[in-house]
Amino acid sequence: MGVTILNLFDQDTVTRRYDGRMVGDLPLNSEEFFNQPWDYEALLREDPTLLDVKFNQPDQFQAPRAIRLTAKFTF
């Protein structure tokens, strides 16, 4: 006889956060991207519409409580 309880206290713990920081492409052409230093944070400050409002928001949660009862019969 056995019992397995997953997420005993039924917590909604965050297990992953949304990591997509931008909704579009960087406003750089290939030459600017490869040939000169550029500041990622400064580009985002210049155009705040590039920021995704979902960035760093909870995206996935711990599964709900589950209880498994097991029994073993031997003949």
pTM: predicted TM-score of the whole model, two decimal places? 0.61
> Tell me: the pLDDT tens digits for 10-65?
898 999 999 988 888 888 888 888 988 888 888 888 888 888 999 999 999 999 99
CB 48 within 8 A of CB 1: no
Tell me whether residue 4 is exposed, middle or buried, using C-beta atoms within 10 angstroms of its C-beta: 0 to 12, 13 to 18, 19 or more: exposed
pLDDT band of residue 68 (cuts 50, 70, 90) is very high
Q: Say how far apart CA 38 and CA 72 lie, in whole Å.
A: 65
